[in-house]
């Protein structure tokens, strides 16, 4: 039995992951803005074998509510074995280019809210000396590209923070896992044309569960994105700037 906390619990990837983690009497704590959606996820997990499911509705872009969510989490579960951060938005790059306020808002929800949570959680995990912290970032953070560099900036900042956190906690049994999905077919990407490189949330969820089991620090999902991004990172600038990536 494990105590599992999920922030952004009704995102497609989070739901897929939670379904695959349930079944052995786990205790869950689910966080998100929409109480109705949280209740739906909670009911599904209980049917799948979760022992307990607690829900907490809040806005993770508001620092006071972030703090309240941590207090509520530990008040409900006592200790946490696994925490998954899966909340965020996919900003419109063109809108951000024309509106600094939208750019700042995108960075706040996709990077700063995570960093705030991680700062609070890391202190708790460091004190208990073990556990697993899992954060969904993105391959978009591997190299800035004109199609999504605002989103990519947030994810790059988050990955760098996770690198430092992993280094800080290296002397403990706390594992810090950076999950870097490529294209995933979710409601957030409903308007995008899909192709062979797109993955289903269940596939990404399975890779997250496997990463938790094996403790791998950085996981590209599906696996082939590791090699795609290796190529993209190493394309010379004079060639890269001629692309429409």
Q: Which residues are catalytic?
A: 151
Among 160, 153, 154, which residue's Cα sits nearest to residue 178? 160
Tokens found for residue 212: 């938790």
Alpha helices per DSSP H over 22-148: 35-47, 63-77, 93-98, 100-107, 113-128
CA 30 to chain centre: 14
C-alpha distance from residue 152 to each of 96, 183, 189 (Å) = 12, 13, 16
Tokens found for residue 82: 């696994």
Give the angle 158-164-167 at the CA atoms, nearest 5°: 140
d(CA 42, CA 137): 24
Number of H helices and E strands in the chain, helices first, is 10, 7
List the end-to-end C-alpha distance of the chain, in Å, as a whole number: 44
CB 245 within 8 A of CB 146: yes
d(CA 141, CA 154): 7
């Amino acid at each position: 039995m494990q105590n599992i906390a999920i922030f952004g619990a009704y995102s497609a990837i989070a739901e897929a992951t939670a379904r695959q983690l349930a079944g052995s009497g786990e205790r869950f704590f689910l966080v998100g803005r929409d109480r109705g959606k949280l209740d739906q996820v909670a009911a599904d997990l209980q049917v799948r074998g979760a022992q307990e499911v607690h829900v907490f509705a809040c806005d993770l872009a508001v620092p006071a509510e972030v703090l309240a969510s941590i207090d509520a989490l530990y008040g409900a579960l006592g200790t946490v074995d696994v925490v998954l951060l899966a909340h965020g938005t996919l900003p419109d790059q063109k809108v951000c280019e024309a509106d600094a306020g939208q750019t700042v808002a995108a960075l706040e929800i996709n990077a700063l809210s995570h960093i705030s949570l991680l700062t609070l959680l890391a202190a708790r995990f460091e004190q208990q000396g073990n556990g697993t912290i899992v954060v969904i970032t993105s391959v978009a953070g591997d190299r800035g590209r004109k199609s999504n560099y605002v989103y990519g900036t947030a994810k790059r900042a988050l990955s760098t923070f996770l690198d430092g956190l992993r280094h800080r906690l290296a002397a403990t049994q706390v594992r810090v896992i950076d999950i870097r999905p490529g294209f995933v077919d979710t409601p957030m990407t409903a308007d995008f044309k899909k192709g062979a490189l797109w993955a289903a949330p269940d596939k990404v969820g399975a890779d997250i569960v496997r990463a938790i089991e094996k403790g791998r620090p950085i996981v590209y999902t599906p696996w082939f994105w590791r090699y795609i991004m290796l190529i993209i990172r190493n394309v010379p600038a004079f060639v890269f700037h001629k692309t429409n990536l």
